Structure 1
Amino acid sequence: MTPRLNPFAASSLMKPLIDFGTTVVQNGLEPSLMELVKIRASQLNGCAICLHMHTQEARKQGETEERLYLLDAWRESPLYSERERAALGWTDALTLVAETHAPDEAYQALQAQFAQEEQVKLTLLITVINSFNRFGVGFRLSHPVRVERSVA
């Protein structure tokens, strides 16, 4: 993978997006839920830099390795609460909106677990992480690399 330009250095227009993202997170939902959503959207979009950043942040907040490893199969794992499942379903639906068209089932699950203002906050969070994913993937932004080898 060959990196392209750094949009954060190339344009002052990135600052409002960063500020908006900060506002959404500071006025958002529970931190662990927000990290799961950011990781899930980044998985769907294939954004390595965001996956690196948000899995590290989730670990700092106490998220377990098992839940991080199984997030890609959240539908098949009993490790996630109904509230988390509703958020992850909504994340999948909106991240893949061209395919899913935000189905009624995903919205009904969201509605059952989240108050109206929380629905808006979650949707804004999904919008922000998808925006950052598009910059990460589009400009081939790279995460830090450290070589670790296990001793057999």
Structure 2
Amino acid sequence: MSNRINILQVEPTAYKAMMGLEAYLQSTQVSKSLKHLIKIKTSIINGCAYCVNMHTREARKDGETEQRIYLLSAWRETTIYTEEERTALALTEEVTMIQNHVSNETYLKAERLFGPNLLAQIIMVIVTINAWNRIAITTELPLD
């Protein structure tokens, strides 16, 4: 790994703004468990080792099972996730791989299950972890 820029040191105001998003996410109705699943799944899609490592550790600390963490890469092939989790994971994939757009089917199902406020909060969880992934990957944050 190279020695790349540390945004916290160089642009602390920008980093503080990102932390403001994290503070907002803590105040939402999105459950800790669902936030963990979204953050892990997004980080897997983006190939962000730093974030996969951090968020799987946090999820286990908060009681998430190894099985549910491991099966995130094949979540469509199992029934261990609730309908709400499956819908959020589908939305997570489509928002993260945005070049394919978010399908009406996925969006409408999420809107029906979550309602406008919770859906907006879930979208913000997805968008925020995508931003963190891009920061970690670009700056080559080392694993702890």
TM range, smaller chain:
over 0.9
Q: Does residue 5 of the first structure (1) align with residue 1 of the second (2)? A: no
Alignment-derived partner of residue 126 in structure 2: 126
User: Cα distance 1:43–1:115, how it changes in 2: closer, same or farther (>3 A)?
Assistant: same
Q: In structure 1, how many angstroms separate the alpha carbons of the residues matched to 2:92 and 2:26?
A: 15
Query: Structure 1: 5+ residue runs without aligned partners?
Result: 145-152
Once the two structures are superposed, residues 12-39 of structure 1 have per-residue CA deviations (whole angstroms, 9 ceiling, x without a partner) of: 1211111122212322411100110011
Higher helix proportion, which one?
2
Q: In structure 2, how many angstroms separate the alpha carbons of the residues matched to 1:52 and 1:65?
A: 13
TM normalised by structure 1 equals 0.89
TM normalised by structure 2 equals 0.94
Shift of 1:52: 1.0
Query: Structure 2: 5+ residue runs without aligned partners?
Result: none
Q: In structure 1, how many angstroms separate the alpha carbons of the residues matched to 2:28 and 2:96?
A: 21
Indicate if the aligned counterparts of 1:25 and 1:125 stay in contact, CA closer than 8 A: no
Q: Which structure has the bigger radius of gyration? A: 1
Once the two structures are superposed, residues 76-112 of structure 1 have per-residue CA deviations (whole angstroms, 9 ceiling, x without a partner) of: 11111100000000000100011x2111121122123
110-119 or 21-30: bigger deviation: 21-30
Tell me which amino acid in the other structure corresponds to 2:27.
Q
Residue 63 of structure 2 aligns to a residue whose secondary structure is coil
Tell me how large the CA RMSD over aligned residues is. Answer: 1.2
